Amino acid sequence: MTENAFIHRFEPATRAGSPPLLLLHGTGGDENDLLRLGSMISAGSALLSPRGRVLEHGMPRFFRRLTEGVFDEDDVRRRAQELGDFVSEARQRYGIAAPVAVGFSNGANIAAALLLLKPDVLAGAILLRAMVPLSDPPRADLAGKPVLLLSGQGDPIVPAGNSARLAALLSQAGASVTHRVLPAGHQLSQADVMLARDWIGNVDAKAA
C-alpha cells in the first residue's frame, strides 16, 4: 500500500455473500478492538480494521479534537479523505466490496464524516454513539444507503439533540436511517450487538 496505509488487521470472509465490515475503534482503541464485535454482528464477514493515526495523550484516534465534543473540523475533513483512500486501496488489495462501517464513538464520528464527504466509499454504516462530525457538511447524495444509529439515553458525551440532528442530517441526504435510543450510557451493551446483528441481517437479505 502507499503512504495512505494505516496499521490495520484484515480477516478474510468465511461466508460467501457476507458484507465486508470496516471496523473503526473509539479513542484509545486499536486495530484489534472491534474484531470480536464485528464477528458477533456479522459472522463470516471480511473484517478490515485500521488503527487511527492521530494520537491524543498517546491514545489513537481518527481525528483531532479541540476539547471533548469540539472537533478540529479541518482535521476531520483531511482524515476522512485519508481513510477513504485507504479503504479504496484495501478493497483492491483484498478484493472486497464496499464495506459497511461499524464505528464506535470517535470511530462512529469518522464513519459519519466519510458518509458525508466520500459517500461512495461505504455501502452503509452502523454508528454507535455518534455525533455530528461537521457543522457545515457538504451536500451528499446518500440515496437509499442504509444507516443504523444507536444512541445511549444516559450518554454523558453525546447530547440527545446532537444524535437526533445527525439522524436528520443523514436522512435529508437520502440515507435510509434507523435511529434507536437505548437505555444505556456511552459504553456498548448487549442490546447494541443484537440490534446491529438484526439490522445487518435485514440489509444483507435485501441486497441478496
* Options 39, 88, 186, 189, the catalytic residue: 186
Residue 117: closest CA among 88, 84, 145? 84
* Options 42, 45, 49, 105, the catalytic residue: 105
Q: List, in sequence order, every residue forming a beta bridge with 61; answer none if it has no partner.
A: 54
Spatial contact of 30 and 74, defined as CB atoms under 8 Å apart:
no
Chain-centroid distance, C-alpha 154: 21
DSSP 121: G
Q: What 3 state SS string does 121-145 have?
A: HCCEEEEECCCCCCCCCCCCCCCCC
Residues 6+ positions from 190 with CB-CB distance below 8 Å: none
Verify whether residue 155 is a known catalytic residue: yes
Verify whether residue 105 is a known catalytic residue: yes
The set of catalytic residues is: 105, 155, 186
